[in-house]
Amino acid sequence: MKKILFSLLMMLTISLSSMATDTVIEPAEHVTSPAAPATTEPLRKSTYREETYQPLDFKDMMINFYHTTGINALLQPKEGVVTSQGKPMSAFHQSWGRVIMFGVTFLLFYLAIAKGFEPLLLLPIAFGGLLANVPIANIAGPHGLLGIIYNMGIANELFPLLIFMGVGAMTDFGPLLANPRTALLGGAAQFGIFGTLVGAYALSQFTPWFDFTLQQSAAISIIGGADGPTSIFIATSLAPELLGAIAVASYSYMALVPIIQPPIMRALTTPEERKIRMRTLRHVSRLEKLLFPLLVFSMIILLLPDAAPLVGAFALGNYFKESGVVDRLSDTMQNALINIVTIFLGLGVGSKLASDQFLVIDTLAILVLGLVAFSVGTAAGVIMAKIMNMFSDEKINPLIGSAGVSAVPMAARVSHKEGTKDDPTNMLLMHAMGPNVAGVIGSAIAAGVMIALFK
C-alpha cells in the first residue's frame, strides 16, 4: 500500500513540474494579439509567386516558338541585340554576317578534315567560330562556354605559357647545336616582324581608314613569326583591344603554313638549289642539351626580362625532357597537358570569329598585315640561306630557311615535303628543325624587345 501511494505521489510531482515548464509568462508588452496563431517554429520567407504565364492556343504557341528560333534571328534582325562585349550589334552582323562566318568555319572544317591542314589546331578554332555565331545563345558572352574559356586562359596569358611548356618538352635542340649557323636563318625570318611594324604604323599615318598606334602596330607585327602563343602574349601586354583579331590571324596562318609557304619557297629557289643535300649532323652530347636551355634563359634574364615568361616556360619543358629523370612529367607536358590546352585554346581563339568582331575593317587589315608579315618572314629565311651559300663551301638547302618562322614543327615538315618533290631521297626534316627551333626563340625575343620598347 505504501509503495502504491509513493508511486502516485511521484507521478503527481512529475506532472506538476512538466506543467510549470510548459507555462510561459510573458511581459505585457510582448503579449501577442489573440488573432495571432501560437507557434514555436521560426518565421519563414514565403516562396509563393504569382503565376504570370497566360495560356495560349496552339497557333500562338507556335508563333512564339518561331520567334525564339535561330531562323527568325537570322531572317529578322532586331534592334537592341548586343554583342558578347555588350555593344549594339548591327543588322548585317546579326544576319548575313553570321551566314558568312558559317561559310568561313565550314571552309576551315574542309581544310582540316579533307586536306589535313593541322586539324589539331583548325578543328577547335573552326568549331569555336561556329559556336560563337549561334544566335540568341550568347555562347561567346562573359558567362557562356567560350567566354569563360577565353577569360580563364587567353586574356590572362595562361594558355600561351602552357603551350610553350609543352612545345619545349617536344623540342630537340640537337639539330641547332649540331649546325649553329642555322640560327641565322631563324633570325632572318624575324625580319617580317620588324618590317610589318613599320608597315602597320605607316598604314595608320598615311591612310584615313586606320589609326593603329605604335603599341598596336607592334602587337600586329608579331604575327609574322607564325607563333600563336607569342602573339597572344604580346597582344595582352600592348594591345588587349586587338587580342581577338591578332590571335585569330596568328593561329590561322600557323594552320595554313602548308598553303602559304610552298609558292614563296618555289618562287625564290631553283630546282638545283632545292636538290642540295646537307651532310649528316654531328652527335650532340646530353650535357650540351642540358646546358643550352639554361644558358639561353640566363641570357634572357640578364638582357630581356620581358621575354622571360615565354622563354622560361619553353626552357622548363625542354629541361624536363632532356634531364631524363622526370619522364612522367615530360610525357604529361608532351601529350595530356598540351592536348587539353590546345582544345581550350582553339575554342577560345575561335570565339573571336564572331561576325561582329571578324567582319570589321580593323580585323581585315590585321589579317592582311599578318599575311604580309608571314610571307616576308618566309622569304627572308630563304634569301638568307641563298646569301650564306655565296660565302660558304658547305651549301645549305634554301628550303630550310622558310622554317625560320616559329611554327613548330609545321614549317620544318613543309620544308622537307617541298624538298622531296624534287628529290624523294633528300631528307631535310632534321636540318629544318635547326632554324625552326631558332625561330621559336627568335620570336619570343622579338616579343620581349617590343614589350620593352613600347609598353
pLDDT digits (tens, 9 = 90+) for 395-420: 999 999 999 988 888 899 999 999 99
| Mean of all residue pLDDT scores within the chain | 85
Residue 427 domain-assigned? yes
Task: Output the pLDDT for position 42.
Answer: 53
Residue 223 domain-assigned? yes
289 grid coordinates: 642539351
pLDDT band at 208 (very low <50, low <70, confident <90, very high): confident
Task: Output the pLDDT for position 47.
Answer: 61
Task: Output the pLDDT for position 67.
Answer: 86
Contact at 8 Å (CB) between 214 and 453?
no
What global pTM score does this model have?
0.80
Residue 310 domain-assigned? yes
- Is residue 288 exposed (0-12), middle (13-18) or buried (19+ Cβ within 10 Å)? middle
| Per-residue model confidence as pLDDT tens digits over 60-109 | 888 888 888 999 899 999 888 888 878 899 999 999 999 999 999 999 89
| Per-residue model confidence as pLDDT tens digits over 271-281 | 999 999 998 87
375 grid coordinates: 610571307
- The count of domains in the chain is 1
pLDDT band at 3 (very low <50, low <70, confident <90, very high): low
Average pLDDT over residues 426-453: 91
Q: Provide the domain limits for residue 424.
A: 149-454
Residue 138 domain-assigned? no
Task: Output the pLDDT for position 44.
Answer: 56
pLDDT band at 34 (very low <50, low <70, confident <90, very high): very low
Residue 445 domain-assigned? yes
Nearest to 182 by CA among 394, 414, 427, 418: 394
| Per-residue model confidence as pLDDT tens digits over 130-189 | 999 999 989 998 899 999 999 999 888 899 999 999 999 999 999 999 999 999 999 988
Residues 6+ apart with CB under 8 A from 423: 274, 275, 277
Q: Using alpha carbons only, give the angle 200, 202, 205 rounded to the nearest 5 degrees.
A: 115
Average pLDDT over residues 18-45: 47
Rg of the chain over CA atoms, in angstroms?
33
Residue 329 domain-assigned? yes
14 pLDDT higher than 60: no
Task: Output the pLDDT for position 328.
Answer: 95
Residue 131 domain-assigned? no
Nearest to 235 by CA among 174, 304, 156: 156
Task: Output the pLDDT for position 110.
Answer: 93
